[in-house]
Amino acid sequence: MPKLLIPLLLTFLLAACVPARTEPSPVSTTSPTPQWLHGAMATPPSRPWWRDAVFYELFVRSFYDSNGDGIGDFNGVTSKLDYLQSLGVNAVWLMPINPSPSYHGYDVTDYYNVNPQYGTMEDFKRLLAEAHKRNIHVIIDMVLNHTSSQHPFFADALRGPTSKYYDWYIWSDTGQGNYWHPLMGNPPKYYFGIFSGAMPDLNYRNPAVTAQMENVIRFWLNDVGVDGFRMDAINRLIEEGDKTENTPSTHEWLKGFYQFYKSADPNAYTVGEVFNAGSSLAKTYTGDQLDQIFNFELAASTINSVNGGSNSAINSALTFALQDMPDGNYGTFLTNHDQNRVMSQLYGNVDKARLAAFLMLTAPGTPFIYYGEEIGMQGEKPDEMIRRPMQWDSTNNSGFTTGTPWEPPANDFQTVNVAAQTNDPNSLLSLYRRLISIRNQNSALRAGSLVLANTNNPNLYAALRMDDSEALLVFANLQNKTITGYGLTLSNSNLQAGNATLSPVFGTGTFAGLTINSNGSFSNFKPLPEIPPYGMYILKIKQ
């Protein structure tokens, strides 16, 4: 989450000049109970669409500029939907699209409108319609924890207790502890903003705040037609004393929120950002509060195993993930908009980038690909450098804009771009397309169980992916050396006893037959005499 500072003088200027409100009239502030608790929740679908999705996270500002003003826009995204469809993704997460004084948009000034730099609401609705024509779902970032300090509600609240919005925020006379921001006065007053003074936290102990955000969610689901939300910093919603995250009060609020948004749209999807969450923490939010939580622990472990050439990190993370959440109902990713790009973390090594993609797209969970990851874009903090314009081709400004870009593209755009990789069967982009296609076509990769195999070699990763219709053996050499000394051992599985043949879904070679024991086990199996450097394979087990 970006950390910004706001001059105190600006705060008082805002109080003196409150912007005209563009939001609908707020619901009654006297109701003590959120409206969602009064209605029956609709029956959810048996197989939610997001369990079979491959998401693409994109920053509208940096994706494609359609009008030459140097800022990406909705029409630009619409014009690139065919590219996303060719990549094989069937869902898109748009980083914040609401009006905001910042470039990133995580300090919202109007929850019922779109950033005019990106276009109009009609432009956005056209983007939605065109995406849906291509069977691509669209979710948007929803920032509930705080507003912008320039939001009309906060500007009005600065008038003090006489303001109807005063109790929508959190105040203190002493400001003792972290995250308090002073207002000039004698004595001074303090407001709570866990991320910065530009982002005052909302007070969810006030039912009027909950009711207002209920209106916001209903507006985007029912009036606009989005398919769900990525919930920003959702673990920070309600503080309890010095405890500022993952509080019982936050969990309790989210239980009501879950009932509400499912009653508004049973097919609506939410995925929550709980920073650094592993499966044990993700589990506490999943099922009756949010649909999924991002598994940060698995993401970091995947990169660690790829960088270190050892299976220990990813095996450990997968073991814990499937121990806590055996159905794999969490979001997976490599990096996102808050982290150094995966290619930079892998020191520009394309072979390692290929391995990372392979591990993520053959593992359980709903994968999220950060824009540009599929072509190997690099970027390290500050945040603007990891959110640079998409690199489409080798022309001026990487084909992102005909004008002056809001941020210049990275220096490698002339060689690292979509156009250079599109027709190259050995490119990183082609690998992503192939792996996503294989995932879309093989239910065991999307919905099947995972059983890790003992490889008798720390440089080799192997797992069985299996559902009622198919069984796949997945393995990869994590190092730049040929592996000869290894043997795959599985203590038990749901495989039927008997002899089986292996046919390649991904990877080439002549593969040995497999003998499966009575409990679905096998030992010291070598599908190939040797596995080449960074070799990756998906083999279908035919019995």
Helix (H, G, I), strand (E, B) or coil at 138: strand
Query: From CA 144, how far away is CA 245, in angstroms rounded?
Result: 14
β-sheet bridge partners, residue 139 = 93
Which is the catalytic residue, given 110, 123, 156, 232? 232
Q: What is the DSSP string of 268-284?
A: -EEEE--TT--HHHHHH
Q: Are 467 and 51 in contact (CB under 8 A)?
A: no
Active-site residue flag, 273: yes
Q: What is the token pair recorded at 317?
A: 């993370």
For residues 72 and 186, give the distance between their C-alpha atoms in angstroms, rounded to a whole number: 45
What is the largest distance, in Å, between two alpha-carbon atoms of the chain?
Answer: 83
- Indicate which residue of 156, 227, 273, 291 is catalytic: 273
Give the contacts of 191 (CB within 8 A, at least 6 positions apart): 169, 170, 171, 172, 180, 181, 183, 200
Within 362-424, where are the H helices?
418-422
How many C-beta neighbours within 10 Å does residue 45 have?
10
Crossing angle of the two packed helices 207-218 and 248-264, in degrees rounded to 10: 40
Nearest-angstrom CA–CA distance, 233 and 250: 11
Cα gap 81→54, rounded to integer Å = 14
Asked if 406 and 399 count as a contact pair (C-beta separation under 8 A), the reply is no
SS (H, E, C) 457-518: CCCEEEEEEECCCCEEEEEEECCCCCECCCCEEECCCCCCCEEEEEEEEECCCCCCCEEECC
CA-based nearest residue to 317, from 338, 302, 332, 334: 302
Which of helix, strand or coil describes residue 395? coil
Q: What is the CA radius of gyration of the chain?
A: 25
In sequence order, the β-bridge partners of residue 462 are 475
Neighbours of 511 (CB within 10 A): 17
Q: Who's near 63: CB < 8 A, 6+ residues apart? A: 72, 76, 77, 80, 371, 389, 390
The answer for residues whose C-beta is within 8 angstroms of residue 308's C-beta and 6 or more apart is 478
Give the helix/strand (H/E) hosting 523. Answer: strand 522-525
Active-site residue numbers?
232, 273
